[in-house]
Amino acid sequence: MSYQQQINELDANIKELQGMVDLGRSLDALRKNRHFKKVIEQGYLEEEAVRLVHLKGNVNVQDGRQQASIHKQIDSIGCFASFLDLVAQKAEAAAEAIDECEEARAELEAEAD
């Protein structure tokens, strides 16, 4: 692979990784927002999860269809929480990868001089 191709590939990687870092920053901003905390973190991820767990044990909602619906809703809360965590993890890893790409780019440039 030529020098210019390597530089172009590193630049493309950095641009893609920067998108993940930007998404992580957006998530950080959301998590600091009091409305997000109130509606999503407290209201959905905590209170709604507790409500559904209690509802699962309620004698009035024991038929299979109702229980399946409750289970799906509980799963959806877990999936959403996992998604938020994954965005944060990807952003951290992308920031580290950007540093590595920039170091590799600097080494290539030094070798070319």
Which residue, chain included where needed, has tokens 């998404």? 23
Q: What is the helix (H) or strand (E) element at residue 55, kind and residue range?
A: helix 49-56
CA distance 14 to 95: 9
pLDDT tens-place string over residues 75-92: 999 999 999 999 999 999
What is the pTM (predicted TM-score) of this model?
0.86
Domain containing 48 equals 3-112
pLDDT tens-place string over residues 63-79: 999 999 999 999 999 99
Which residue, chain included where needed, has tokens 């409750």? 70
pLDDT tens-place string over residues 20-59: 999 999 999 999 999 999 999 999 999 999 999 999 999 9
Domain tally for the chain?
Answer: 1
